[in-house]
With several copies, the nearest count.
Chain A
Amino acid sequence: MKFGIMVNEGPFTHQASDSAYHFAKAALDKGHQVLRIFFYYDGVNNANKLSQPQADDRNLIKLWGELGKEHNLDLVVCVAAALRRGIKEEILAEGFRISGLGQLIEAGVAADRLVVFGD
């Protein structure tokens, strides 16, 4: 089955990004396809490479990047949401790309299921 995933919150303040990550990983483990993960609203903060969590805490920015690399995932950060929030190429973490909101609609059209994670 083909999944699309939308992430609406950043990597710390809400659990949404954690839940989305575990969902994506479980879907891939089950042999499903994850067509695209689209980061919208504060979700764009998942791509801030300057983020430096405490040593004993998880680093979702890295985890997303690694999962993306392992499974050749398309991690898309919404350009409009990102501009507002100051997420630009110069601080974009590895594995993410910045693109338009159309990519969310496209994922919704192409996927069998689109699942939203947010607050």
Chain B
Amino acid sequence: MEDQFEDLFDIEGVKKKFMFVNRKAPYGTIYALEVLEAVLISAAFEQHAAIVFVDDGVYQIKKGQDTKAINMKNFSPTFKIIEMEKEDADEDPDMDMVWRIIVEKESMEARGFTPDDFVIDVEVLSSAELGAFMEEQDVILSG
């Protein structure tokens, strides 16, 4: 069945700007975990990616998560993999893939956090800056 659709998807060499908007807290719902899987797959397609944490999404990257007592999978180590993908993209001159990991300043501060609270290095953008950057995207995925 897949074959009949193949001609629709001639994407060889096409490069787009993807933004993944994370607005939801971890564990209370699964969205944070499953969107990460989509982020990782986008690397295989060598697409540009902005991984954005806004509103309760900033809780996803809080340090010190320990899920033993709720018996759920602690997925926060996955953010380290995303950080590595970004570093690979930054350092490899042959790879035309720009990744950015962004936290909205207003959301972070409202929750009493600083960048020291996070498991990964992030760029901090104001809502105005993030809003303008959002306009530059080709595809925005939220979940």
Contacts and interface: CB of A to CB of B under 8 A. Distances in A.
Instruction: Tell me if chains A and B make direct contact, with any CB pair below 8 A.
Output: yes
B30 A106 contact: no
A40 interface: yes
A112 B70 CA distance: 26
Q: Number of contact residues on B: which range applies? A: 20 to 34
Interface in B62-87: 70-73
Interface string B1-12: 110110011110
Given A13-B29, A41-B30, A109-B14, A104 B73 contact: no
Given A101-B38, A116-B141, A110 B2 contact: no
B109 interface: no
Q: Number of contact residues on A: which range applies? A: 35 or more
Interface of A: 2, 6, 8, 12-15, 18, 22, 33, 35-36, 40-41, 54, 56-58, 72, 74, 80-81, 97, 99-102, 104-111, 114, 116, 118-119
Contacts of A13: 29-31
Contacts of B11: 106, 109-110
A12 B32 CA distance: 12
Given A13-B29, A15-B28, A118 B41 contact: no
Give the dominant DSSP class at A's interface. Answer: mixed
Interface in B38-73: 38, 41-42, 44-45, 47, 70-73
B68 to A, nearest CB: 11
Contact of B73 (A8, A56, A99, A105): A56
Interface in B9-24: 9-11, 14, 16, 18
24 contacts: A2-B8, A12-B30, A14-B28, A14-B30, A15-B27, A15-B70, A35-B8, A36-B5, A36-B8, A41-B31, A58-B73, A97-B2, A101-B37, A102-B45, A104-B38, A104-B41, A104-B141, A105-B44, A108-B16, A109-B47, A110-B8, A114-B140, A116-B142, A119-B29
